[in-house]
Chains A and B, each alone.
Chain A
């Protein structure tokens, strides 16, 4: 597969591993956070950590939209299906997120809820067209990569004059999440989470460009390297971060130049701006309520807003007391540090969000890396 296989080449990886070893100063340790869940997954699935020298460590960040989706939002989706009888369309990732009352979307389906897994927002619109007698709601989650497809779907529904289609909008914003980590006391004041730089998300950046990260590099003096999705991209980005740290620079660099530029995809950004606006507050699982961190549907498209159509109210639901997801999402703790990890909390029986998605730090470690703990 072109543009995929070449970026996974094991022989080239050996060379890059050697380059990283030479670049890293043996007198110090380096800690980098890969923000994006896709990178967490790639690092675990390919065993990238095995190729890094001991003094270079990766910290897993909160860039997994399923992991940061609060229980209260999944509850809303479940209620729509079970109490309002809607056809609830969702991406596969959300099906197993545990919500209140021991339910999940998958369990709600077993109880008779009409819950459909879709690959694309366009499929949800098609279902609405095919089933005019049913109310169809699309459960829209994701960071900036996934938001433009939802915008297109809403505009399509508007153009088709669909009366039975609406969206439960839970789209969240990357810069806010990065801020919350950099603002956390562990990073800013206490220095207990040593963070030397970030690997910036690949596909979010194709949409928003590299410009939004410049603020973080300047304000917090941390280098950011935007990396492509493949393991060689990640290693190259680590090499570039090490070099920046060694040279005392804090700049935004772009390793994913084949798909990302400074401005991003303006057409997609305009579509999003046309359909969505920022919410003042939004609860993130594990990171609490963050300001200007999420989107809602603009009043011009209010008829497609499921929260308005079904008068949904939002009830926050706290996490299990012993669950360390919050700390893990901020990079303060590792999965192995959580008391519940691997015993009570496993992928089959996930207590917290980090275990639910295959990109959550806990799930990735459990599924690919726990042989290292024993």
Chain B
């Protein structure tokens, strides 16, 4: 007769197991999920404290920035990334564009009953890698389980905290007439990478999501000494939506040059197939920067020294406009408005 080892607890079957309701019930099953999956991959000194909240060191002078992001992307795994690293990058970026140094993240998971533990492990590993590479640890988290059919595999919410030195705060209200508008790289990569793997729109392409943490790039931009007025990351709704938001907040108008917009040929082609406009397609690793006219070239040069800013370009200018229109001179020579996105951008037949 075989002997059962003393104190033996059957480990989590990450390879073949699935999430079940017990994992969210607060009992031993949940503790095991946290210890053998979450903590194992994300482990750091704060998580190791093991309390209800993380105790973090005070930050001296300057203001705090807090940002939160919910992630429901489908499919969960796509060319260039997954929901895990996306959720880490997205919140780091939201904090960083406010002018703050991102310090810590929290992560909340809503898991659907039946979700494969192997997929969950893959996602959490991806988050751990992204957090480590960015130098921003995930210090606290929570997980709940909902019944089969009531969740799309997994939903992740991340919240980030950072600190901004006095005088270094940025807001969308500071764009002024005469300012120059720049983008840090090619537009539409993330959204089209997702479109490519959506069932019934499927096409093969070399397009890969641009998901990335941008705080390093932002640090380089600030070190250049350029007078930056606005920084934002154009995610859902694309560049067009972000620029319209800023135009509204700052009470200005904008004029873009279509020929100056950096777009990969494959992204253009995919948009042509589906009747979409790259200006409205989501980005997850790009910045819009609005700076004083005299510093535009300096800022552009600084962007281009960093791998995430290699394709940076000057794309337009800010001007006075009581209607807050974002307009564009087309590559063809005519003019058009670049309006807010209405509803969801849908592929057209006409």
Contacts and interface: CB of A to CB of B under 8 A. Distances in A.
Interface of A: 1, 4, 8, 10, 13-14, 17, 37-38, 41, 44-51, 64-66, 91-93, 95-96, 106, 116-119, 123, 127, 142, 146, 231, 346-348, 357-359, 366-371, 374
Interface string B330-342: 1111111101001
A93 B346 contact: yes
Contact of A347 (B327, B334, B342): B342
A14 B337 contact: no
From B265, B268, B275, B323, name the one whose CB has the most chain A CB atoms within 10 angstroms: B275
Contacts of A47: 329-330, 332-336
A65 B62 CA distance: 58
Given A46-B330, A358-B348, A369-B337, 4 more contacts: A1-B265, A13-B333, A347-B342, A368-B337
Interface string B182-213: 00000000000000000011000000000000
Contacts of B343: 96, 106, 347-348
A65 B334 contact: no
B contact face: mostly helix, strand, loop, or mixed: loop
A49 B334 contact: yes
Contacts of B325: 371
Contacts of A106: 343
B272 interface: yes
A366 B200 contact: no
Interface string B256-275: 00010000010011001011
A66 B332 contact: no
A359 B200 CA distance: 23
B216 interface: no
Interface residues of B, number: 29
B336 to A, nearest CB: 4
Contacts of B4: none
From A13, A46, A95, name the one whose CB has the most chain B CB atoms within 10 angstroms: A46
Nearest to A106: B343
Closest 8 pairs (CB-CB, A-B):
A47-B334, A92-B346, A347-B342, A50-B334, A46-B332, A368-B336, A92-B347, A91-B349
Contacts of B333: 10, 13-14, 17, 47, 50-51
B327 A371 contact: yes
Nearest to B268: A1
B332 A13 contact: yes
Contacts of B335: 47, 50, 371
Contacts of B334: 46-51
Contacts of B201: 119
A1 B330 contact: no
B123 to A, nearest CB: 27
26 contacts: A10-B332, A10-B333, A13-B333, A41-B350, A46-B330, A46-B331, A46-B334, A47-B333, A48-B332, A48-B334, A50-B335, A51-B333, A51-B334, A66-B350, A91-B349, A92-B347, A92-B349, A93-B348, A116-B200, A146-B349, A346-B342, A347-B342, A366-B339, A371-B325, A371-B327, A371-B335
Contacts of A369: 336-337
B335 to A, nearest CB: 5
Contacts of B323: 371, 374
A359 B332 contact: no
Contacts of A370: 337
A15 to B, nearest CB: 11
A369 B328 CA distance: 11
A127 B335 CA distance: 42
B336 A10 contact: no
Nearest to A116: B200
Interface in B264-305: 265, 268-269, 272, 274-275
A357 B343 CA distance: 12
Contacts of B348: 91-93, 358
B331 A119 contact: no
A123 B336 contact: no
Contacts of A8: 331-332
Contacts of B349: 91-93, 142, 146
Contacts of A367: 337, 339, 342
Contacts of A348: 342-343
Contacts of A49: 334
A14 B272 CA distance: 24
Given A118-B200, A371-B323, A45 B342 contact: no
A96 B344 CA distance: 10
